[in-house]
Structure 1
Amino acid sequence: MRPPFSPLLRPWLRRMSTVCFPLAEARGLLRVRGPHTEGFLQGLVTNDVERLKDGAMYAHMLNVQGRSLYDVLLYRVPGPQIGPHDLLLECDVAAVDSIRQHLQLYNFRQRVEVRPCPELSVWALIQEKKELSVLPPSDPGCVPDPGCVPDPRCPEMGFRMVAPTGHNVPDILPGTEPGNVCNYRRHRYQHGIPEGVQDLPPGVALPLESNLVYMNGISFSKGCYVGQELTARTHHTGVIRKRLVPVRLSSPRSAESEGLEITTMSGKSAGKFRAGVEDLGLALLRLAHVGEELQITAGGGAPVGVKASLPGWWPGPGEGT
């Protein structure tokens, strides 16, 4: 059975060159169901699950030291076999089993069931032409279909779609073009969007340095959750000196580039290269060095130039932490 599509989506597709990226090899789904689902997840993720209506919500799961373990997208997607308290949890496909074990560890006699959801797959629908604007998440017409919702992280990430596994979304949505995971990653890195355990190493990445606030992934007014104390304290100091930023390399990266130090031309440490594909990637940089000439030197080889930038979708000074 094909998933239903509202007429609200079709004008959006007609006026944009939209690419459909199948993410089954990169992103997995868990189904969390039961009458205690919202309260259970409320104590384990950074965002306020009780505010999630129909649509999607971004969040991190933290360890007790306040470092990110997993980045997730939560969906409340209506359907014939989905109960009123059921949620879908999207995560890195390599972390599905780890997240399931993590949730079960905290499931103390609560009526919550967590199981894999191979019958559904995730797609990203992203516009290709930069001169056309994506409908912002605040637009009421931005929820075009129960299975297709705005990506909550930033407008440049377009829509997220949850569809039955085996469906070919470009066939269902005439006028869209098929994409691949490599180009999807390039799009993410171009706009500075981290995703998965490679970009956000479990137990290493700090959520605020990973731009969790900018990506609408945290609530500072909800109740307690695992890892809250350090995150809240850092937020209220208002000082974030390092952030994940998009970088472009002067030549395609090698596999050995990940984790290497980025320096200024004078040799001063500026940060570390986190992950990338070809000549694009993410780096955890001191903001004071963004805009300077930077480089990576590995194994005695020739230095590789690094050009860092701040994403256009970031809020202006004083608008966010």
Structure 2
Amino acid sequence: MASERTILTSRRLVKVFGDDAKEFLQNLVSCDVSELSATSSAFGALLTPQGKILWDFFVFADESTDGFLIDVSAEELDAFAKRLAFYKLRAKVTVEPADEAVHVVAEWGDDLSADKPQDPRLAEMGLRYIATGAVEETASEADYHAHRIGFGVPQSGQDFQLADVFPHDTDMDSLNGIAFSKGCFIGQEVVSRMKHRGTARKRIIKVSADSDLPAAGSDVLAGEKSVGALGSSAGGAGLAMLRLDRAKAAVDAGVPLMCEGVTLSTSIQAWATFNWPSSD
């Protein structure tokens, strides 16, 4: 199919630049920003010391300032910029919102440019890049979300709430969102321990039904017990954050997973680095 392209109006950009910008971000965020270029980007998060996600985002190199552009939810722009500025201390860093004429663009399908950054989470998602001024759009943001949901890729604000979950709960460890080998960052000890101990019990996986799915946030039940909550959906395809052990036990016992009277089928994404827990 021909490529589809849309401005993600739900996203805004924060500029981070100055002599210490690279070291400043590298020591704060979960992703590795040390080798970014015009054709690459990084997906990561700023965590609490306890390892929960305060904000997730994408980081791009900004050639105009020799710094970075951070793609974050528009609703979180001011709070995110304020928190970054709080961490500056004596670092030679400037943090400020980018001009509203600078856009985040998503593009997917065939014949994609090799000169623009791929979505760093998953190659099948296509391109995600920065553009200034007019963009020839061939799709809507709703089309982008249907594309995202089809590949089982979660998004904060739709599939989980910020400050409430660990990166592993949202599959960030499978989506290149945590650079385990880069060294220290805020919350690093907790997420590294979860990786090595395999203690993540909640995961976001794909769900489907023969009808349109209920609203995001609806409880997913096994009998009368909640095993998780529904996230975003497009028609009968969606995502849900589930306790995998409880969901598997229910299905193994022949108990269907239900959401507002709708029977759900579940599947783990092909790209996932996790699987259903053992029944042993």
TM-score, reference length from structure 1: 0.76
Question: In the alignment, is the contact (CA less than 8 A) between 2:41 and 2:58 conserved in 1?
Answer: yes
Which residues in structure 2 correspond to 1:1-321 (within 5 Å)?
16-23=1-8, 25-54=9-38, 55-78=40-63, 82-84=64-66, 86-117=67-98, 118-127=100-109, 144-145=114-115, 148-165=116-133, 167-170=134-137, 178-254=138-214, 257-264=215-222, 266-288=223-245, 289=247, 292=251, 293-297=256-260, 303-315=261-273
Counterpart residue type for residue 191 of structure 2: T
Cα deviation for residue 253 of structure 1 reads: 4.0
| Partner deviation per Cα, 1:58-89 (whole Å, 9 max, x = no partner) | 101111221111111001154xxx133x1110
Aligned length: 267
Once residues 240 and 93 of structure 1 are traced to their aligned partners in structure 2, the CA distance between those partners, rounded to angstroms, is: 29
Mapped to 1, the partners of 2:259 and 2:177 lie a distance apart of: 31
- Offset of residue 158 of structure 1: 0.5
Deviation of 1:281 (Å): 2.7
Alpha-carbon shift at residue 315 of structure 1 (Å): 4.1
Q: Which runs of 5+ in 1 are unaligned?
A: 1-15, 129-133, 136-142, 171-177, 298-302
TM-score (norm 2): 0.86
Q: CA deviation at 1:260?
A: 2.9
Asked if structure 1 preserves the Cα contact closer than 8 Å seen for 2:211 and 2:236, the reply is: yes
Give, in angstroms, the shift of residue 316 of structure 1.
7.3
What CA distance in whole angstroms lies between the structure 2 residues aligned with 1:195 and 1:287?
Answer: 19
Contact 2:159 2:216 in 1 (8 A): no
* Offset at residue 194 of structure 1 (A): 1.6
Summarize deviations over 1:4-41 as a string: whole Å, max 9, x none. xxxxxxxxxxxx42111221x21111111111111111
Letter in 2 for 1:205: V
SS in 2 for 1:208: helix
Identity %: 30
Please give the alpha-carbon distance, in whole angstroms, between the structure 2 residues aligned to 1:221 and 1:52.
Answer: 16
RMSD value, Cα: 2.3
Matches of 1:261 and 1:203 in 2, distance apart? 20
Q: Is the 8 A contact 1:64 1:226 kept in 2?
A: yes
Query: How far did 1:188 drift?
Result: 1.1
Stretches (4+) displaced over 4 A: none
Q: Distance in 2 between matches of 1:121 and 1:251?
A: 35
For the residue of structure 1 that corresponds to 2:117, the secondary structure is strand
Q: 1: CA distance between counterparts of 2:49 and 2:274? A: 31
Query: For the residues of structure 2 that align with 1:44 and 1:204, how far apart are their CA atoms?
Result: 19
List alignment gaps of at least 5 residues for structure 2.
276-280
